[in-house]
Amino acid sequence: METVIDAKGIKKVYKISKRAKGLFGHIANLFYPQYTYKHAIDNINLTIKKGDAVGFIGANGAGKSTTIKILSGILSPTEGSVTALNVSPHKQRKQYVAQIGAVFGQKSQLAWDLPIIDSFHLLQKIYRIPEDKFQKNLAQFTKILDMQSFIEQPVRQLSLGQRMRADIAASLLHSPELVFFDEPTIGLDVVAKERIRAFIRYMNKELGVTIIFTTHDMQDIEKTCDKLIIIDKGKKIYDGTVNGIKNHFGSERKLIVQFSEEHQIAEIPNVQIKHNNAISKEFLFKSKDVPIKSLIQHIFENYHVQDLTISEPDIEEIVRDIYEKGV
């Protein structure tokens, strides 16, 4: 499969002026300047293939934003190399940005006082999109994102959900091969979030667009991405599939059983039993120690069961544990 982004050993070091307090400190700094060096990212390697949907997450200050800015060509690395869509993002920026799209949850690329359609026509001129391609994409995105009712309205009159839909359409009008999403669902209600997620899945699966998704909402990651990259303190600490992180780090399972009558539950090896009430119990166990099928069979054979639910590991809790305990 074709490689879209290949980053090798990228580092970003910021040189920060260190000044002593007071007047004499400022004067001394003029003649003997001192600096500290902050390593925002340290020796990160990334490979992203065509058609990948990658969730890119990290705590505040972890280096996530710096990495994304390097991958999108806004910053150049202090060390290392980046090749994206067969060009160097920061050296061949004009050629590169013509092939990518970007959606920022808190920044719009649409003109505030113009109707959306006018902004779209302006973007057509900027990207030099052929008329037939522009009209085809416009019609397709307007229908899928349900923008017919507000496409003639100025951006300032739109709700946040409507503006985000328009921004996503704007980022795709020139048919980019790679799109960066930065918190595209921030501040949206549940219905608006799901509409955005559904469209991102569509553009990835149906249109073959490679996406890189940064967010603090783990539901965004679970519902749109297949791969996950976690960065912490400037270093990559996980690079794999979303299911892989659940299977590897989230091995604890919870089986909630509702019994039809009160039972005294006998001890089960490697299973912690939590008593919610007289007829409801929780069975906590690790999948590598206790096969779920065997546990369910044991319970059905020995007790009268009315209902049961298997609780899968929550990816947000898994990621939180990785930050706290490491990999």
Q: Are residues 196 and 311 in the same domain?
A: no
At 60, the pLDDT band (50, 70, 90 cuts) reads: confident
Quick check: 101 and 180 in contact, CB under 8 A? yes
Q: Are residues 68 and 90 in the same domain?
A: yes
pLDDT exceeds 70 at position 236? yes
Q: Which residues pair with 41 in a beta bridge?
A: 12
According to the model, what pLDDT value does residue 2 have? 92
Q: Which domain holds residue 203?
A: 3-247
pLDDT exceeds 80 at position 279? yes
Q: What Rg value do the Cα atoms of the chain yield, rounded?
A: 25
Q: Are residues 222 and 296 in the same domain?
A: no
Higher local confidence (pLDDT), 250 or 273:
273
Q: Are residues 224 and 258 in the same domain?
A: no
Higher local confidence (pLDDT), 248 or 9:
9
Give the total number of structural domains in the chain.
2
Q: Are residues 14 and 111 in the same domain?
A: yes
pLDDT in tens, 134-184: 999 999 999 999 999 999 999 999 999 999 999 999 999 999 999 999 888
At 326, the pLDDT band (50, 70, 90 cuts) reads: low
Q: Are residues 146 and 283 in the same domain?
A: no
Helix (H, G, I), strand (E, B) or coil at 77: coil
Q: Are residues 184 and 260 in the same domain?
A: no
At 312, the pLDDT band (50, 70, 90 cuts) reads: confident
Q: Are residues 78 and 181 in the same domain?
A: yes
Q: Are residues 315 and 201 in the same domain?
A: no
CATH number of the domain that 169 lies in? 3.40.50.300
Cα distance between residue 48 and residue 3, in whole Å: 6
- Average pLDDT on 271-284 reads 88
Residue ending a domain, choose from 221, 247, 273: 247
Query: Residue 168, class by beta-carbon neighbours within 10 Å (0-12 exposed, 13-18 middle, 19+ buried)?
Result: buried
Residue ending a domain, choose from 232, 247, 262: 247
Cα distance between residue 134 and residue 125, in whole Å: 10
Q: What is the pTM of this model?
A: 0.82
Q: Could you give the C-alpha distances from 237 to 23, 46, 212, in angstroms and in order?
A: 44, 12, 17
CATH number of the domain that 269 lies in? 3.30.70.250
Q: Are residues 163 and 286 in the same domain?
A: no
Q: Are residues 135 and 221 in the same domain?
A: yes
Q: Are residues 231 and 262 in the same domain?
A: no
